[in-house]
Amino acid sequence: MRNRLIPLLALIPLFAVAAAQEVVNVYSARHYETDETLYATFTERTGIDVRVIEGDSDELIARMQSEGANGPADVFITVDAGRLWRAEQAGLLAPLDSSIVDAAVPANLRHPGDLWVGLTQRVRGIVTSVDRVEEGAITTYEQLADPEWQGRVCIRSSGNIYNQSLLASFIETLGAEATETWAAGVVANMARTPQGGDTDQIRAVAAGECDVAVVNHYYLARLIAQGDAGDQEVANAVRFVYPNQDGRGAHVNVSGAGLVATAPNAENARIFIEYLVSAEAQEVFASGNNEYPVVEGAVAGEVTQSFGDFVSDAVNVAVYGENNPEAVRIFDRVGWR
């Protein structure tokens, strides 16, 4: 692992704090070995011991609510801005107030009230069959609702937070009425009842059950990176499309972190989050789980880079939570199961 000058300089003045307060308690809904590597490196850099409790996002939120003001949680980490919104709505987060974070992470990948910050970017794009879909035949999310794709679309259920956030972004950009029309069109074009996770959608396209599917980019990257012969066959049968490149750009979501309002080790928590947006940590995130960095100049992983450059939607990801209730109502009205 390469040591980077800028992130280390940011941490040098904080070693004295670490000696007095040497613990940060992290409640995390991310379950990746890469994260464990980052935590160990952070401890080496600062002397602050990272104590992690893992669980489902909603379970961790409920636990923090139950523990109350005397709870040990310092940092909450989860995937998807919609889940960060749930913690925000529960009153569990406090402003981070970090000039280091503000300088490192673009404003659209941070909460406008400073309650949380994105750590990684996740693109929700389209995979298409190499054999049955001509390259360039579909280039936008909107086309998924066109009659041309009737009986050809695979996608996860409406209960999936990734889809809820995608629809929430549509509400922000297109308005609720147009978004509902689009969602109804996608339901009409589904090749099967929504089922399974994103990898299952990719496999369904490869198997000929459908011709196009909506997935987060890193699920395909994982199939490529794992090197299994069967996975390679699946990956070779599809192509990844970044939608809306001539318009608003591809839908980007985040995994992110927030400072817990009742954190007993608030300063250590701030130091910890600042480290996670350093160039060093960002490249570990990117290479380890095939996610995109949130910090400009940090290098993405090799497989992810092979997908090519893309234009991302500039909407602030915080609106995914704000628009989530309306997104759920739209899903219900159009019969998206």
Question: Is residue 2 over pLDDT 70?
Answer: no
Q: Residue 11: which pLDDT band, with cuts at 50, 70 and 90?
A: very low
> Which tokens go with 308?
């090519």
Q: What pLDDT does 21 receive?
A: 52
Please say whether the beta carbons of 106 and 294 come within 8 A.
yes
Q: What pLDDT does 297 receive?
A: 87
Please say whether the beta carbons of 80 and 270 come within 8 A.
no
Q: What pLDDT does 312 receive?
A: 96
pLDDT more than 90, % of the chain: 85
Q: Residue 16: which pLDDT band, with cuts at 50, 70 and 90?
A: very low
Cβ atoms < 10 Å from Cβ of 265: 22
Give the pLDDT mean for 229-233.
91
Concatenated DSSP letters of 224-240: HHH--HHHHHHHHTEEE
> Which tokens go with 215?
């997935």
> Which tokens go with 320?
């995914």
Q: What pLDDT does 17 receive?
A: 41
- The Cα 1–Cα 205 span in angstroms is 37
Give the pLDDT mean for 75-93.
96
Nearest to 299 by CA among 283, 315, 316, 318: 283
Please say whether the beta carbons of 86 and 201 come within 8 A.
no
pTM higher than 0.85: yes
Average pLDDT along the chain: 92
Q: What is the pLDDT of residues 42-61, one digit of tens each?
A: 999 999 999 999 999 999 99
123-250+318-334: CATH, from 1.20.1250.20, 3.40.50.720, 3.40.190.10, 1.20.120.330: 3.40.190.10
5-121+253-303: CATH, from 3.40.50.300, 3.40.50.1860, 3.10.20.30, 3.40.190.10: 3.40.190.10
Please say whether the beta carbons of 237 and 130 come within 8 A.
yes
Cβ atoms < 10 Å from Cβ of 228: 11
Q: What pLDDT does 226 receive?
A: 82
Domains 5-121+253-303 and 123-250+318-334 share a fold: yes
H/E run at residue 216: strand 212-216
**What are the beta bridge partners of residue 216?**
124
Amino acid in the structure at residue 6: I
Q: What is the pLDDT of residues 100-124, one digit of tens each?
A: 999 999 999 999 999 999 999 999 9
Domain segments of the chain as ranges: 5-121+253-303, 123-250+318-334
Give the pLDDT mean for 311-333.
97
Sign of CA dihedral 44, 46, 48, 53: negative
Q: Residue 229: which pLDDT band, with cuts at 50, 70 and 90?
A: confident
Please say whether the beta carbons of 130 and 300 come within 8 A.
no
**What are the beta bridge partners of residue 121?**
254, 292
Chain centroid, CA 259 distance in Å: 18
